A and B are shown apart, each in its own frame.
Chain A
Amino acid sequence: MTTWDKVLIAMILAAFAASFLLVRAVIGVADGPLVAVVKVDGVVQERLVLSKDVNLVVTSPAGSCRLTIEDGAARIVSADCPNNLCITQGPIDRAGELIVCLPHRVVVSVEGSLTDKIDAVVQ
């Protein structure tokens, strides 16, 4: 290993550190708070910040269901739909995640993060 090799290693490590800090900073800004968006029949009804605990009833023409936000995760706790699939879909806390209730035409989605889950793997 020559001196220039070491210089190169140091340079790339410096770039690593710089980009690490930069990405941190950028995410902090662009990230914003995670928000649960409640849509009924495609129309936005509520935008709720996930960091604040909430308990509310979402009503739709077909019935109603109860949405709670607890520990930074949103979930449906009760509903008057026939199969209760929205309850079994569990809590959502990451950007892009959804809870869908077809009978009520209710969609709850989490939005607001730059860091989605991995959507491609490179080899």
Chain B
Amino acid sequence: MSLIRRPTTPLTTSELTKAALLLGAGIIVQGIEALYLPSLMIPGAKLGLANSITMLMIALFRWREVVTHVALRTTVVSLVTGTFLSTTYLYSLTGGLLSAAVMYLAHRYLYGGLSYVGISLLGATTHNLTQLGLSILVLGHIGVVTLLPWLLFFAVISGTGNGLLVNIVAPRIADIAPKPQVS
């Protein structure tokens, strides 16, 4: 695929379809997690399986599509769980966008040195730290910091798990869906 495309070039129909499929997968995974796997002992600790879908988006698409993916996914899931425009939604959206940004940059500049495990770890840590920082701002109570160690701990577990998963899936998906190139 030697298509040279500028970041603003519209997606082809097949790319759009793949993006839509991944968005659907992301919504389902995150929705099921939110509805049927209530938070473990620690608020905020979760599998974050949707993060692996975000990484596939990063592997296959440009940043515009990735941002759209994350924003749409969190919004649709918040409508499903009934948290749209609540603080929960705010946490989810900012955490998702920031971690996606970190993972996008890590994928672009560090991939090779890091595998998807490392990228996923960076994303998970960013996500959890963002939410922690936000909750301190929102609650105006520094006591939430006591959760920090556990959030880091769960970031390692879910980050590694998702990364290993994407390490397996990404190469296979890349054959079917070449990344639109940025000139």
CA A63 – CA B159 in complex, angstroms?
60
Contacts of A2 in B (CB 8 A): 113-115, 117-118
Inter-subunit contact B155/A12 (CB<8 Å): yes
Contacts of B114 in A (CB 8 A): 2, 4-5, 8
Residue A121, interface by CB 8 Å: yes
* Contact-residue size bin, chain B (C-beta under 8 Å from the other chain): 35 or more
Inter-subunit contact B164/A1 (CB<8 Å): yes
- Given that A114-B143, A114-B146 are known contacts, is A122 also in contact with B131, CB under 8 Å in the complex? yes
Residue A60, interface by CB 8 Å: no
**Number of residue pairs spanning A and B whose beta carbons lie under 8 angstroms apart:** 86
Residue A54, interface by CB 8 Å: no
Q: Which of chain B's residues 47-79 have a Cβ closer than 8 Å to chain A?
A: none
- Given that A8-B122, A23-B146, A122-B88 are known contacts, is A16 also in contact with B152, CB under 8 Å in the complex? yes
Contacts of B160 in A (CB 8 A): 9
CA A15 – CA B115 in complex, angstroms?
21
CA A53 – CA B143 in complex, angstroms?
28
Interface centre among B46, B131, B138, B152 (most CB of A within 10 A): B152
Contacts of A16 in B (CB 8 A): 149, 152-153, 156
Interchain CB contact (< 8 A) of B163 among A5, A17, A23: A5
Residue B103, interface by CB 8 Å: no
Q: Which of chain A's residues 74-123 have a Cβ closer than 8 Å to chain B?
A: 114-116, 118-123
Q: Which of chain B's residues 125-154 have a Cβ closer than 8 Å to chain A?
A: 125, 131, 135, 138-139, 141, 143, 145-146, 148-149, 152-153
Contacts of B115 in A (CB 8 A): 1-2, 5
Q: Which of chain A's residues 26-80 have a Cβ closer than 8 Å to chain B?
A: 27
Contacts of B155 in A (CB 8 A): 12
Residue B34, interface by CB 8 Å: yes
Residue B17, interface by CB 8 Å: no
CA A2 – CA B116 in complex, angstroms?
9
Inter-subunit contact A118/B146 (CB<8 Å): no
Inter-subunit contact A12/B156 (CB<8 Å): yes
Inter-subunit contact A119/B139 (CB<8 Å): yes
B131 and chain A: residue at smallest CB distance: A122
Contacts of B181 in A (CB 8 A): none
Inter-subunit contact B148/A19 (CB<8 Å): yes
CA A114 – CA B110 in complex, angstroms?
40
- Given that A12-B155, A16-B152 are known contacts, is A122 also in contact with B117, CB under 8 Å in the complex? no
Contacts of B88 in A (CB 8 A): 121-123
Footprint of A on B, CB under 8 Å? 34, 39, 43-44, 46, 81, 83, 87-88, 91-92, 110, 113-115, 117-118, 121-122, 125, 131, 135, 138-139, 141, 143, 145-146, 148-149, 152-153, 155-156, 159-160, 163-164, 167
9 closest A-B pairs by beta carbon, nearest first, are A20-B149, A16-B152, A5-B118, A5-B117, A122-B44, A19-B149, A121-B43, A4-B113, A19-B148
